[in-house]
Copies of this chain bind each other. A is one copy, B any other.
Amino acid sequence: MNVEFINPFLSSLMNVLSTMAQTQLKPGKPRIKTDEIACGDVSGLIGMVGPQTRGSFSITFDESLALTIMERMLGERPDSINEEVTDMVGEITNMVTGGAKRLLSEKGFEFNMATPIVVSGKNHTIHHKATGPVVIIPLNSPLGRAYIEFSFDE
């Protein structure tokens, strides 16, 4: 069930952002995504394939938050979402999923990761099409919002 995956993904994200970018986000309550739409400006997506199930993970940032993370990681703030920013979001997606993979492996749940894909564009929304419920966790900060979402086949 997806719910036991919440902590591995969430703690891996918090760890990556605090280590790499000295950024603390405040997680809101995880919930099952229904009709609500979570939108953002740049998203990292990754597919996962394992013997038990397969699924997908995404992390979506407001532009302001993505640019601040970039500034904290590399010392320069780009004017807008350029290729360096999408590279960084792809790398964060890889690191967060890799961290969650290690934590889930300890629980006996194994998967391999595909390569990340990054989407840029004002106010886009992500729709995970695995057959299980989509778990969404909003994260807030004075710098802007982020969301993580994931879903696995049931």
Chain A residues within CB distance 8 Å of chain B: 39, 43, 45-49, 54-56, 58, 83, 86-87, 90, 94, 112-131, 151-153
Closest to A152 in B: B115
Q: What DSSP secondary structure best describes chain A's contact surface?
A: strand
Flag if A121 contacts B122 (CB, 8 Å).
yes
Q: How far is the CA of A49 from the CA of B153 in the complex (A)?
A: 16
Flag if B114 contacts A124 (CB, 8 Å).
no
Question: A152 — which chain B residues lie within 8 A by C-beta?
Answer: 115
Question: A130 — which chain B residues lie within 8 A by C-beta?
Answer: 115
Question: A55 — which chain B residues lie within 8 A by C-beta?
Answer: 114-115
Flag if A56 contacts B115 (CB, 8 Å).
yes
Closest to A130 in B: B115
Q: How far is the CA of A85 from the CA of B12 in the complex (A)?
A: 33
Flag if A56 contacts B114 (CB, 8 Å).
yes
